[in-house]
């Protein structure tokens, strides 16, 4: 006081070691000095339990929606994908553990010459090989093995071209896949086999659908007959179903489906 008399001074109450800081005092002053602010603050505090209950309800609904999405995702994988539409589960199970498709069935019905319906394949003749109708798959690599007359080893004399045949009709010409190859691309100088990557389309893997077949044409441009050929396509079952889910709109961008 200006007159020098002592006055009683009471500090704000303390709880343990806690005391209001200058910033806290300033906020308290604003609350007290702003008409109606304290009442609104008290009303908000009273609403906290209700807000917490709403948050819990929203979280529970999100979990339920997530579970429903997972269930629908499994449904799409099991019943909408082409493999399950066109084949029974028993057939799918039969192929589920396979890792390769062998192109060993000779396709007949193409004009002769130059096509032949049986081995051997002579000079300037072509033979087409395919596989039986089966659930779809996504080829990863391709390997070939040729048996040339006279123990020949000049794979350079044989041209190869892959075709994707729609509708499961192997006698149709189909669509060319990748570039024309030479058989020597599949063989090292020491005679060991090379597995080449399967051709891509628009920089993405090609999947052979359940209503399609894969075929390969082998043309002999040399003098020695081709006595037999074995063509193997190695594939990944998972990749086919991932592509399938994208096409039917079941996959979430950036998310990978469990298998």
Q: What is the pLDDT of residues 117-158, one digit of tens each?
A: 999 999 999 999 999 888 888 899 999 999 999 988 889 999
Distance CA(259)–CA(256), nearest Å, equals 9
- R_g of the chain computed on alpha carbons: 37
What are the backbone dihedrals phi and psi of residue 187, each rounded to the nearest 5 degrees, phi first?
Answer: -135, 130
The pLDDT score that the predictor gives to residue 6 is 58
What are the backbone dihedrals phi and psi of residue 147, each rounded to the nearest 5 degrees, phi first?
Answer: -110, 105
Query: What are the structure tokens assigned to 56, written together?
Result: 């819990």
Residue 85 in any domain: the answer is no
Residue 149 in any domain: the answer is yes
How confident is residue 25, by pLDDT bands cut at 50, 70 and 90?
confident
Residue 66 in any domain: the answer is yes
The pLDDT score that the predictor gives to residue 241 is 59
In terms of domains, do 155 and 65 share one? no
Query: What are the structure tokens assigned to 168, written together?
Result: 């499961």
Residue 163 in any domain: the answer is yes
Residue 192 in any domain: the answer is yes
In terms of domains, do 109 and 65 share one? no
Residue 225 in any domain: the answer is yes
Containing 43, the helix (H) or strand (E) segment is helix 37-75
pLDDT digits (tens, 9 = 90+) for 54-110: 888 888 888 888 888 877 766 665 555 555 556 776 777 777 677 899 999 999 989
The number of angstroms, rounded, from the C-alpha of 115 to the middle of its chain's C-alpha atoms is: 37
In terms of domains, do 49 and 139 share one? no
Residue 44 in any domain: the answer is yes
In terms of domains, do 76 and 104 share one? no
In terms of domains, do 132 and 35 share one? no
Q: Is the pTM of this model over 0.75?
A: no
In terms of domains, do 114 and 190 share one? yes
Is the separation of the CB atoms in 170 and 215 below 8 Å? yes
In terms of domains, do 63 and 32 share one? yes
Q: Where is average pLDDT lowest: 37-46, 141-150, 240-249, 250-259?
A: 250-259
Q: Which residue has the tokens 């090609």?
A: 206
In terms of domains, do 116 and 69 share one? no
In terms of domains, do 70 and 112 share one? no
**CATH at residue 189:** 2.60.120
In terms of domains, do 234 and 178 share one? yes
Residue 40 in any domain: the answer is yes
What's the domain count of the chain? 2
**Domain residue limits at 55:** 18-80
Distance CA(253)–CA(257), nearest Å, equals 10
The pLDDT score that the predictor gives to residue 23 is 79
Q: Alpha helices, DSSP H only, in 114-172? A: none
In terms of domains, do 142 and 212 share one? yes
Mutual orientation of helices 22-33 and 37-75 as an angle, nearest 10°?
A: 100
């Amino acid at each position: 006081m200006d007159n020098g008399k002592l006055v009683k001074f009471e500090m704000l109450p303390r709880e343990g070691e806690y005391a209001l800081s200058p910033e806290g005092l300033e906020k308290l002053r604003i609350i007290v000095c702003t008409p109606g602010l304290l009442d609104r603050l008290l009303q908000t505090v009273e609403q906290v339990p209700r807000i917490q209950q709403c948050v819990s309800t929203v979280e529970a609904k999100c979990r339920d929606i997530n579970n429903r999405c997972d269930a629908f995702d499994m449904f799409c994988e099991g019943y909408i994908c082409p493999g399950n539409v066109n084949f029974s589960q028993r057939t799918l199970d039969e192929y589920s553990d396979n890792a390769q498709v062998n192109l060993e069935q000779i396709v007949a019905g193409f004009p002769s010459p130059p096509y032949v319906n049986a081995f051997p394949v002579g000079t300037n003749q072509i033979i087409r090989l395919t596989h039986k109708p089966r659930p779809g798959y996504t080829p990863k690599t391709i390997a070939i093995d040729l048996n040339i007359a006279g123990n020949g080893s000049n794979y350079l004399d044989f041209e190869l071209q892959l075709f994707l045949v729609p509708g499961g009709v192997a006698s149709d010409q189909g669509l060319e896949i990748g570039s024309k190859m030479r058989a020597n691309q599949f063989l090292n100088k020491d005679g060991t086999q090379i597995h080449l990557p399967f051709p891509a389309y628009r920089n993405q893997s090609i999947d052979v659908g359940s209503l399609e077949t894969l075929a390969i044409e082998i043309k002999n441009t040399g003098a020695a007959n081709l006595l037999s050929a074995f063509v193997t396509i190695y594939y990944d079952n998972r990749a086919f179903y991932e592509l399938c889910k994208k096409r039917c709109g079941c996959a979430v961008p950036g998310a990978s489906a469990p298998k």
